[in-house]
Amino acid sequence: MFSPNTVNQVSGGYNRIFNYITSQGTGSCEAQKLGIPGANLDCSASNTCAPSGVSCGLTISQLLGPYFSIGDRGFSPFQGGTNIFSINDSLDMIRGKHDIKVGVGIRANQMNVKTKGFQDGFWTLSGFWSGDPEADLLLGLTSLAIHDQTFKGPTTGRRWKIFRPFVRLILVSLGI
Protein backbone atom coordinates (compact mmCIF):
# COMPACT_ATOMS: atom_id res chain seq x y z
CA MET A 1 0.00 0.00 0.00
CA PHE A 2 1.58 3.25 -1.14
CA SER A 3 -1.18 5.52 0.17
CA PRO A 4 -4.93 5.26 0.96
CA ASN A 5 -5.57 6.03 -2.75
CA THR A 6 -2.81 3.89 -4.32
CA VAL A 7 -2.58 0.14 -3.77
CA ASN A 8 -0.39 -2.42 -5.55
CA GLN A 9 -1.20 -6.13 -5.43
CA VAL A 10 1.18 -8.94 -6.49
CA SER A 11 0.27 -12.61 -6.48
CA GLY A 12 1.89 -15.76 -7.80
CA GLY A 13 1.06 -19.40 -8.16
CA TYR A 14 2.20 -22.82 -9.25
CA ASN A 15 0.19 -25.81 -10.46
CA ARG A 16 1.32 -29.27 -11.58
CA ILE A 17 -0.60 -32.05 -13.27
CA PHE A 18 1.09 -35.41 -13.87
CA ASN A 19 -0.25 -38.63 -15.45
CA TYR A 20 1.29 -42.05 -15.83
CA ILE A 21 -0.81 -44.60 -17.74
CA THR A 22 0.04 -48.18 -18.67
CA SER A 23 -1.93 -50.96 -20.36
CA GLN A 24 -2.59 -54.31 -18.78
CA GLY A 25 -0.25 -56.02 -21.25
CA THR A 26 2.59 -53.48 -21.21
CA GLY A 27 5.92 -55.28 -20.92
CA SER A 28 4.45 -58.72 -21.66
CA CYS A 29 5.77 -59.22 -25.22
CA GLU A 30 2.51 -61.08 -25.99
CA ALA A 31 2.63 -60.31 -29.71
CA GLN A 32 6.07 -61.89 -30.01
CA LYS A 33 4.97 -64.92 -27.94
CA LEU A 34 2.02 -65.39 -30.32
CA GLY A 35 4.39 -65.22 -33.31
CA ILE A 36 3.31 -61.88 -34.78
CA PRO A 37 6.43 -60.92 -36.76
CA GLY A 38 7.99 -57.52 -36.09
CA ALA A 39 5.29 -56.44 -33.62
CA ASN A 40 7.38 -56.06 -30.47
CA LEU A 41 10.42 -54.10 -31.51
CA ASP A 42 11.73 -53.76 -27.94
CA CYS A 43 11.51 -57.46 -27.01
CA SER A 44 14.48 -59.77 -26.90
CA ALA A 45 14.58 -63.44 -27.88
CA SER A 46 13.84 -64.31 -24.23
CA ASN A 47 10.58 -62.27 -24.39
CA THR A 48 11.81 -59.52 -22.10
CA CYS A 49 11.54 -55.83 -22.83
CA ALA A 50 14.47 -53.64 -23.72
CA PRO A 51 15.17 -50.78 -21.27
CA SER A 52 13.06 -48.34 -23.29
CA GLY A 53 10.04 -50.63 -22.92
CA VAL A 54 8.13 -48.63 -25.53
CA SER A 55 6.92 -51.50 -27.74
CA CYS A 56 6.28 -54.54 -25.60
CA GLY A 57 2.58 -55.44 -25.48
CA LEU A 58 -0.07 -57.03 -27.69
CA THR A 59 -0.71 -55.63 -31.17
CA ILE A 60 -4.18 -54.11 -31.48
CA SER A 61 -6.20 -56.29 -33.83
CA GLN A 62 -9.52 -54.84 -34.90
CA LEU A 63 -11.73 -57.32 -36.72
CA LEU A 64 -14.58 -55.62 -38.54
CA GLY A 65 -18.04 -57.06 -38.17
CA PRO A 66 -19.45 -58.74 -35.05
CA TYR A 67 -16.03 -59.12 -33.39
CA PHE A 68 -14.33 -57.35 -30.50
CA SER A 69 -10.86 -55.85 -30.79
CA ILE A 70 -7.97 -57.36 -28.89
CA GLY A 71 -4.68 -55.73 -27.88
CA ASP A 72 -3.26 -52.93 -25.79
CA ARG A 73 -4.21 -49.27 -25.78
CA GLY A 74 -3.04 -47.11 -28.65
CA PHE A 75 -1.20 -44.48 -26.58
CA SER A 76 0.22 -46.37 -23.63
CA PRO A 77 2.51 -46.30 -21.79
CA PHE A 78 1.95 -42.57 -21.42
CA GLN A 79 3.83 -40.26 -19.11
CA GLY A 80 3.05 -36.58 -19.07
CA GLY A 81 3.41 -33.60 -16.80
CA THR A 82 2.42 -29.97 -17.09
CA ASN A 83 3.80 -27.18 -14.89
CA ILE A 84 2.11 -23.78 -14.79
CA PHE A 85 3.82 -20.79 -13.17
CA SER A 86 1.88 -17.55 -12.84
CA ILE A 87 2.49 -14.05 -11.53
CA ASN A 88 0.02 -11.17 -11.52
CA ASP A 89 0.59 -7.52 -10.65
CA SER A 90 -1.99 -4.73 -10.50
CA LEU A 91 -1.86 -1.10 -9.43
CA ASP A 92 -5.12 0.53 -8.27
CA MET A 93 -5.19 4.34 -8.13
CA ILE A 94 -8.15 6.48 -7.03
CA ARG A 95 -7.88 10.03 -8.33
CA GLY A 96 -10.89 12.26 -7.71
CA LYS A 97 -13.93 10.53 -9.22
CA HIS A 98 -11.82 8.03 -11.17
CA ASP A 99 -10.63 4.56 -10.17
CA ILE A 100 -7.82 3.51 -12.51
CA LYS A 101 -6.48 -0.03 -12.37
CA VAL A 102 -3.60 -1.25 -14.55
CA GLY A 103 -1.75 -4.53 -14.45
CA VAL A 104 -0.45 -7.62 -16.14
CA GLY A 105 -0.80 -11.36 -15.71
CA ILE A 106 2.00 -13.62 -16.89
CA ARG A 107 1.69 -17.39 -17.17
CA ALA A 108 4.57 -19.71 -18.13
CA ASN A 109 3.56 -23.23 -19.18
CA GLN A 110 5.75 -26.32 -19.48
CA MET A 111 4.37 -29.56 -20.91
CA ASN A 112 6.48 -32.73 -21.07
CA VAL A 113 5.11 -35.91 -22.67
CA LYS A 114 6.60 -39.33 -23.38
CA THR A 115 4.42 -41.70 -25.38
CA LYS A 116 4.14 -43.42 -28.72
CA GLY A 117 1.02 -43.83 -30.78
CA PHE A 118 0.19 -47.48 -31.44
CA GLN A 119 3.70 -48.53 -30.36
CA ASP A 120 2.70 -52.20 -30.45
CA GLY A 121 1.12 -51.88 -33.88
CA PHE A 122 -2.49 -51.65 -35.06
CA TRP A 123 -4.18 -54.00 -37.51
CA THR A 124 -7.56 -53.72 -39.13
CA LEU A 125 -8.90 -56.96 -40.58
CA SER A 126 -11.93 -56.54 -42.81
CA GLY A 127 -12.15 -59.86 -44.63
CA PHE A 128 -10.84 -58.24 -47.81
CA TRP A 129 -8.58 -61.20 -48.67
CA SER A 130 -10.64 -64.22 -47.64
CA GLY A 131 -14.12 -62.81 -47.16
CA ASP A 132 -13.96 -63.22 -43.35
CA PRO A 133 -12.04 -61.00 -40.88
CA GLU A 134 -11.23 -63.93 -38.60
CA ALA A 135 -9.74 -65.94 -41.49
CA ASP A 136 -7.66 -62.90 -42.53
CA LEU A 137 -6.29 -62.74 -38.95
CA LEU A 138 -5.32 -66.41 -38.97
CA LEU A 139 -3.67 -65.98 -42.38
CA GLY A 140 -1.86 -62.81 -41.25
CA LEU A 141 -3.42 -60.74 -44.06
CA THR A 142 -4.39 -57.26 -42.90
CA SER A 143 -6.45 -54.60 -44.61
CA LEU A 144 -4.57 -51.84 -42.78
CA ALA A 145 -1.48 -51.96 -40.58
CA ILE A 146 0.28 -49.08 -38.82
CA HIS A 147 3.05 -48.77 -36.27
CA ASP A 148 3.84 -45.64 -34.26
CA GLN A 149 2.17 -42.43 -35.28
CA THR A 150 4.35 -40.04 -33.28
CA PHE A 151 6.32 -37.36 -35.03
CA LYS A 152 9.83 -36.30 -34.00
CA GLY A 153 10.12 -39.17 -31.49
CA PRO A 154 8.18 -40.27 -28.42
CA THR A 155 9.30 -37.44 -26.14
CA THR A 156 8.04 -33.91 -26.63
CA GLY A 157 8.48 -30.77 -24.58
CA ARG A 158 6.53 -27.59 -25.16
CA ARG A 159 7.08 -24.20 -23.57
CA TRP A 160 4.91 -21.13 -23.99
CA LYS A 161 4.13 -17.90 -22.20
CA ILE A 162 0.92 -15.91 -22.00
CA PHE A 163 0.95 -12.17 -21.28
CA ARG A 164 -2.33 -10.45 -20.32
CA PRO A 165 -2.03 -6.72 -19.71
CA PHE A 166 -5.11 -4.71 -18.77
CA VAL A 167 -6.35 -1.19 -18.02
CA ARG A 168 -9.65 -0.47 -16.26
CA LEU A 169 -11.21 2.96 -15.70
CA ILE A 170 -14.25 3.38 -13.47
CA LEU A 171 -16.07 6.64 -12.82
CA VAL A 172 -16.88 6.64 -9.11
CA SER A 173 -20.30 8.02 -8.22
CA LEU A 174 -20.55 10.18 -5.12
CA GLY A 175 -24.19 9.17 -4.59
CA ILE A 176 -25.61 12.72 -4.97
Task: Please state the domain extents for the chain.
Answer: 6-171
Question: Quick one: pLDDT at residue 152?
Answer: 60
- In tens, the pLDDT along 108-130 reads 999 988 776 776 677 888 888 88
Counting residues of the chain whose pLDDT is more than 90, the rounded percentage is 26
pLDDT at 92: 95
Residue 110's Cβ-side half-sphere holds a number of Cα atoms within 13 Å equal to 8
When pLDDT is cut at 50, 70 and 90, the band that residue 33 belongs to is confident
More confident residue, 152 or 123: 123
